[in-house]
Amino acid sequence: MTRDWATTRRRAVGALLAPALVVAMAANSYASANPAQLPAKYKSGLSMAMDTTYPPDEFIQNGKIVGFDADLGYAIGEVLGVKVTLHTVTFDDIITKVQEGTYDVGNSSFTDTPAREKKGGLDFIDYFKAGEGFYEGATSKAVFNGLKSLCGHSVAVETGTTEQIDAEAQAKSCHVSVLSYEDQNGANLAVLTGRAQVGFADSQVVAWIVHEHQGQFKLTGTPFKTAPYGFIVAKGSGLAQPLLAAVKALMADGKYKQILDKWGVEQGALSTPGINEATS
């Protein structure tokens, strides 16, 4: 019987390499469990921009940035094997700064909307879902439910949010006085002092604001316009796939649910993350 040396050679090489491959794969563990690799320039760290006036998503406690977006940011860093630094940036400026590369990721409860996807040159990695909700002074008798209920009233929003855009859109068909402030605190103060009759922000934020202000505010109406939150990255930065893979990994091993439960926002859990999944 003549030996087929080519086949033998192939089998020998295979036999030698197989254990090496297994070892290499095991050693890389999380970092190469994702098919999408983090581009080399981000290996030294990822910078995330967030507007830290939005509890429980991102806010400052004892001088440190906390919140479920902050926790998710750090967890993603662990999965990808890079250091994540969080930066406080005015909400309205974050999109531009990410587009220009000043910050790598915008991690600030950005609602993924077709308008933002079209205008931004950005990718949204959807990881959470939230609705929009109203809150008002505790002694207020008015009830607000849905956008149309804003007619004839004044509403406080934060500049650059989807709530601002929705309120302004409603203001085109009936009289709504939209007061927009640089940060959520300004909007809260406006509702407190009666400048605005109602405040308008993301649903879990509204719940937290009401809780934080210990009886000065109350919820009104039910949240509506549920839409996904996305981490934003610039198109062409190569971060979309790695971040998506990282989010999937966190959902798979239960860390995602753990973080959401810790902040009491488990109703916003997304079952499958995606990229640019805005529908409305």
Partner 1 sequence: MATPQLARRSAQEPAAARVVPVRHPGRWVAAVVILVLGAMLVHSLFFSHVVVFGQRRERFEWGVITRYFTSDQVWQGLGFTVALTVVAMVGGIVIGVLLAIMRLSPNPIVTGSAWYYIWFFRGTPVLVQLLFWYNASYIFPTFSLGIPFGPAFVHFNLTTWLPAFVAASVGLSLNEGAYMSEVVRAGLISVDLGQTEAAQSVGMTRLMALRLVVLPQAMRVIIPPTGNETISMLKTTSLASVITVPELTYSVEQIYAANFRPIPLLMVASFQYLWVTTVLMVGQYYLERHYARGSVRQLPPTPIERLRKGLLIRPGRTGFGRFADVEGIPFVKDTED
| Residue 73, CB-side half-sphere exposure with 13 Å CA sphere | 28
- To partner 1, the closest distance from the beta carbon of 121 in angstroms equals 6
- Cβ contact 232:120 at 8 Å: yes
| Residue 201, CB-side half-sphere exposure with 13 Å CA sphere | 30
Report the chain's terminal Cα–Cα distance, integer Å: 70
Closer residue to partner 1 in complex, CB, 52/188: 188
Binding footprint of partner 1, residue count (CB under 8 A)? 29
**Contact between 186 and partner 1 (CB under 8 A)?**
yes
State residue 61 phi and psi, 5-degree precision: -135, 125
**Contact between 215 and partner 1 (CB under 8 A)?**
no
The C-alpha atoms of residue 277 and residue 124 are separated, in whole angstroms, by 8
DSSP strand pairing (198-202 vs 269-275)? unpaired
**Contact between 216 and partner 1 (CB under 8 A)?**
no
Per-residue x/- track, 10-39, partner 1 (CB under 8 A): ------------------------------
Interface region with partner 1, contact rule CB under 8 A, candidates 12-20, 124-132, 145-153, 181-189: 181-189
**Contact between 254 and partner 1 (CB under 8 A)?**
no
**Interface with partner 1 in residues 86-145 (CB under 8 A):** 92-93, 95-96, 99-101, 119-121
Which tokens go with 135?
A: 């809150």
Closer residue to partner 1 in complex, CB, 189/251: 189
Closer residue to partner 1 in complex, CB, 179/275: 179
Interface region with partner 1, contact rule CB under 8 A, candidates 7-15, 23-31, 179-187, 270-278: 179-187
Among 236, 254, 272, 280, binds partner 1 (CB under 8 A): 236
**Pseudo-torsion of CA 109, 115, 118, 119, nearest 10°?**
-80
- To partner 1, the closest distance from the beta carbon of 264 in angstroms equals 29
- To partner 1, the closest distance from the beta carbon of 101 in angstroms equals 6
- To partner 1, the closest distance from the beta carbon of 92 in angstroms equals 6
Q: What angle, 0 to 180 degrees and rounded to 10, lies between the N-to-C axes of helices 68-80 and 240-252?
A: 100
The reply to whether omega before 56 is within 30° of 0 (cis) is: yes
CA–CA distances in Å: residue 234 to residues 10, 53, 109, 124, 231: 45, 24, 16, 9, 10
The C-alpha atoms of residue 120 and residue 170 are separated, in whole angstroms, by 23
Question: Which of 276, 275, 262, 260 is closest to 130 using CA atoms?
Answer: 260
Per-residue x/- track, 145-174, partner 1 (CB under 8 A): --------------xx---xx--x------
Closer residue to partner 1 in complex, CB, 95/205: 95
Residues that bind partner 1 (CB under 8 A): 92-93, 95-96, 99-101, 119-121, 159-160, 164-165, 168, 179-182, 186, 189, 192-195, 234-237
